[in-house]
Structure 1
Amino acid sequence: MEWIQWFGEHFIGMFEAGGKQFMGLITGIVPTLVVLLTFTYAVMKFIGEERVNRAIQFAAKYTILRYTLMPILSVLILTNPMAYTFGRFLPEKQKPAFYDSAVSFVHPVTSLFPYANAGELFVYLGIANGIKEAGYSMSELAVRYFLVGIVVILLRGIITEWITKYLAGKMKANSQ
């Protein structure tokens, strides 16, 4: 009968621990997420959706902006997974590279804008807590993570665009 008492205590203890974790989120990260999301949508409203669309169309013309500014704005404004719809501004041959850039940015964005991909927040916070326990600054980690993410998405976009062009050329040659 000892096992029944042990099971009862540990079973309810699991839910009590989950409740404490939930309350930590409600009093910690959730208000920050709501304010960040509200700020982003307010900026969009002030700027105007049509102006944002024109800026995206402008960025689509230039490789460096196509694989930096476009994925950043798409992830910040639309969040994951809607961010990929910004690909509608691109010709078919550039869509795979844009997707690669955008999908690669949904992880680093959580460091400064956690609302953009809440699913990855727990991964980032796990790393950040380890950095904090080691005595390093979480703010420095956040900025570095974000900046390295921009470099990575630029490289991935360019490389994927090259690969897409190469494979399309090969397919065209094979079909003739």
Structure 2
Amino acid sequence: MEWIQWFGEHFIGMFNAGGEQFMSLFTGIVPTLLVLLTFTYALIKFIGEERVTKAIKFASKYTILRYTVMPILSILLLTNPMAYTFGRFVEEKQKPAFFDSLVSFLHPVTALFPYANAGELFVYLGIANGLEQAGYATSEIAVRFFLVGIVVMFLRGIITEQITKYLAARM
């Protein structure tokens, strides 16, 4: 009969631990996410949606902007998964490359802007927790992660655009 008591204690203990984790997120990261989202939407309203749209259309004309500025803005302003809608501003033949560059940046953006891709937040928080326990600063890795993400998304955008051109020419 001891196993019934052991099972009961550990079964409810699992839910207690889950509740503690939920409350730590609710009192820690959730207020930050709400403030960041509020700031982003206020900034868009302040600048004006028409101006933001015009700037994005301008950026879509140039390769370097199309695979750096556009994905960054789309993720920061619209968050995942709405960020994909910025693809409407690029030509049809560039959509696979834009999508590829955008997707490759969804994880690195989480380090500095956790609201942008909540699905990746738990991965980053796990990495950050390990770094903190090892005695490293998470701010340094967050900035490096973000900067490397920009380089990777730019390279992936260019490479995917070339692959798309090649495959389209073969058809």
What is the Cα deviation at residue 74 of structure 1? 0.5
Residue identity opposite 1:66 in structure 2: R
What is the Cα deviation at residue 129 of structure 1? 1.1
1:131-152 Cα deviation digits (max 9, x unpaired): 1112111011111111110000
Which residue of structure 2 aligns with residue 73 of structure 1?
A: 73
More deviation, 66-75/133-142: 133-142
Unaligned runs of 5+ in 2: none
Which residue of structure 1 aligns with residue 11 of structure 2?
A: 11
Which residue of structure 2 aligns with residue 51 of structure 1?
A: 51
Which residue of structure 2 aligns with residue 135 of structure 1?
A: 135
What does residue range 1-176 of structure 1 map to in structure 2 within 5 Å? 1-171=1-171
Residue identity opposite 2:81 in structure 1: P
Give the length in aligned residue pairs.
171
Unaligned runs of 5+ in 1: 172-176
What is the Cα deviation at residue 88 of structure 1? 0.4
Equivalents in 1 of 2:58, 2:29: separation in Å? 35
Equivalents in 2 of 1:46, 1:65: separation in Å? 23
Paired-residue identity, %: 81
Residue identity opposite 1:31 in structure 2: P
What is the Cα deviation at residue 130 of structure 1? 1.2
1:101-125 Cα deviation digits (max 9, x unpaired): 1111111110011011101000011
Equivalents in 2 of 1:5, 1:134: separation in Å? 37
Superposed CA RMSD in Å reads 0.6
Equivalents in 1 of 2:57, 2:32: separation in Å? 31
Which residue of structure 2 aligns with residue 174 of structure 1?
A: none
Equivalents in 2 of 1:82, 1:90: separation in Å? 16
- Taking structure 1 as the reference length, the TM-score comes to 0.96
Please give the secondary structure, in 2, of the residue aligned with 1:28.
helix
Runs ≥4 residues deviating over 3 A = none
What is the Cα deviation at residue 22 of structure 1? 0.8
